[in-house]
Amino acid sequence: MEIDKRKSDHVWRFYFVLVALLFVKTYLVYRFEFSLTMRGAGEEFLLLINSIGAISLLLGIGLFKKYSKPGLMLAVYFLLSVILYANVLYYRFYIDFITVPVLFQFGNVGGLSQSTVELINWYDPLLVLDSLVLFWLIRRWNLKSVSLASKLKKKTALFATGMFLVTAALAFILHPLLFEKSYDRELFVKSLGAYTYHVYDVAFQSITSLNSLFADDTDISEIQKFVDKNSVDESPYFGVAEDKNLIIISLESTQAFMMDEKVEGKEVMPFLNNLKDESFYFPNFYHQTAQGKTSDAEFMIDNSLYPLAGGSVFVRKPENKFLSLPLALKGEGYLTTSFHGNDRQFWNREEMYETLGYDRYFSKKDFDVTDDNSINYGLKDIPFFEQSIPYLKELKEPYSAKFLTLTNHFPYLLEEEDTLISLPDTSKGVVNRYFATVRYEDESIKKFFEDLKAEGLYEDSIFVLYGDHYGLSETYNEAIGEYLGKEIGPVEHVQLQKVPLLIHVPGEEGKVFNTVGGQIDLKPTILELLGVNEQKSLNFGRSLLAPDRKNLVILRDGSFVTEEYVYTKNTCYNKETAEKTKRNKCARHFDHVQDELDYSDRVIYGDLLRFMK
């Protein structure tokens, strides 16, 4: 009996050691790895306690059985530590938390690479390798399955459940609309904790995956009314590029602030700076991507729907029905193509492009890719454009051709012979190298335009050049601030989400459009310039050229920007002064923003476009 009691005591100590260690690790990660915006003592207290209940219950899987299982407790502890560390790595670049779809799309986005290595710190092993010490402790104490006092187990279970319920109650008191903002993962994590968030995410993804089974045509009619209510008038630019070939260039990881920058007196983007003077230029154009990054940008531009808050539509919903830009152009006799110097399966493009109606996809197998002309994720931009010219010459006109650049990709690697500008001297090498790869990208586009003109492919084309997503995440705000000579606060960070947009129509005079818009607006803008009226349409975007469009851009996390205000991290700011302002200045947009994101999600999750008549 004495031996059983001693073993029982060791098991209880082991359980509480696991709970204490994981609680401390989790809180330290909250404080030092996640940039959580805290407002008041209530949120601070909630952040401190929100993991205790979930950790106690999850580790209790090995405790509350008839016979305790220390090995199972340690296995759960190790799994939770791995999940915590995976979130740390993901957050360091994306400033976001992992979702179930991200795990399933891992193989589609390249897996482990130099990008991942760049994010690892020397102390990272401490987050997971303590499990080895704990395994030694199991051996040292000779911990095995043992029957524990049921009374003490019940008290422990009641404590864990009580802590979880107290946390939930406090979370709902502080944030009554918590579950109505399921896309706000930061709010969820700082309210209910990282582990509860992941359990909720699994349940949410399971439920939404079934939505299409129960959808019918009444769902799409409600959404169509919402879209029609927010439609805009036709602009004077309708048809100015009618029957022209369409060339779209996706500028990988390119942020708009680079357009105006110089290093030692030399412009970072000299060609695009000259081109914008001869183009329709949109200085207030924002990326709206989420976890799908480049594929999200493609999805928005092709469909005028918002990306999903978690994962990529390209990976999650390639079997859906869409009313895409390529399909609209094919209805007008266009041949639709896409060019990319990487594998066909990257971001599941091969399958998704077929769904979207692309006639031809030129991928890595269509190019001569060698060690000399490739770096990082694939073929460098200059040889990519050079090798694309012969294919363009063979295309039947009119055609659309989308080009996805690649060299300006995190962690921004480039050989010395391709470095065309001096590097700034900030505290982060990634930020310094970013200037070099952006400069190289600009040079590649300059050479591409020169080749197009030499081959007679320039005059009868319209060119759309857009940044696909940010290149430098919030992780690098301090180093960006060093270079810009100012602190990067919430408003400045949102403003850094601007990406370049130039629409170049040879023969048309350049003009600056100060309208506030985003990638979701590009499809209707392009179709308007080409003079195309879709037979069927459901576009959440509005033409950037429309004189009566609302100056509002909605970001995927629920933040939004108007002419005067920026709403981000649940706070309203004056855009010009970057100071907090009264919440009611932004409040009139809340319902519209929520409805627009929710309706777009319903279209995708329910595959509702199949019901369009």
Q: Which residues have a catalytic role annotated? A: 294
Instruction: Report the helix count and the strand count for the chain, using DSSP H and E.
Output: 23, 20
Give the residues across from 527 on adjacent strands: none
DSSP state for residue 310 in the 8-state scheme: S
In the chain, what's the furthest Cα-to-Cα distance?
A: 94
- Contacts (Cβ under 8 Å, ≥6 apart) of 329: 246, 336, 400, 530, 532
What are the Cα distances from residue 13, in Å, to 61, 429, 467, 561?
Answer: 16, 46, 55, 52
- Contacts (Cβ under 8 Å, ≥6 apart) of 574: 564, 565, 580, 581, 585
Helices 40-49 and 185-192, axial angle in degrees (round to 10): 70
What are the Cα distances from residue 532, in Å, to 242, 331, 362, 459?
Answer: 8, 9, 26, 20
What are the Cα distances from residue 307, in Å, to 109, 303, 311, 326, 348?
Answer: 16, 10, 9, 18, 15
Q: Identify the residue whose tokens are 């690098």.
A: 476
Q: How far apart (Å, rounded) are the C-alpha atoms in residues 140 and 336? A: 67
Using the CB atoms, write b or e for 378-388: b if 16+ within 10 Å.
bbbbbbbbbbb
Q: How far apart (Å, rounded) are the C-alpha atoms in residues 568 and 584? A: 14
- What phi, psi does 276 have (nearest 5°)? -65, -25
Check if the beta carbon of residue 544 is closer than 8 Å to that of residue 488: no
Q: How far apart (Å, rounded) are the C-alpha atoms in residues 587 and 271? A: 41
Check if the beta carbon of residue 385 is closer than 8 Å to that of residue 443: no
What are the Cα distances from residue 371, in Å, to 350, 378, 418?
Answer: 24, 9, 14
Which segments of 95-234 does DSSP mark as H helices, in order?
100-104, 114-118, 130-140, 150-174, 185-192, 194-208, 217-229
Q: For the chain, how big is the Rg over CA atoms in Å?
A: 26
Q: How many CB atoms lie within 10 A of CB 319?
A: 10
Check if the beta carbon of residue 474 is closer than 8 Å to that of residue 431: no
Q: Identify the residue whose tokens are 């659309």.
A: 400
* Peptide bond preceding 383 in cis form (omega within 30 of 0): no
CA dihedral defined by 289, 292, 294, 297, rounded to 10 degrees? Answer: -40
Tokens of 269: 């983007």
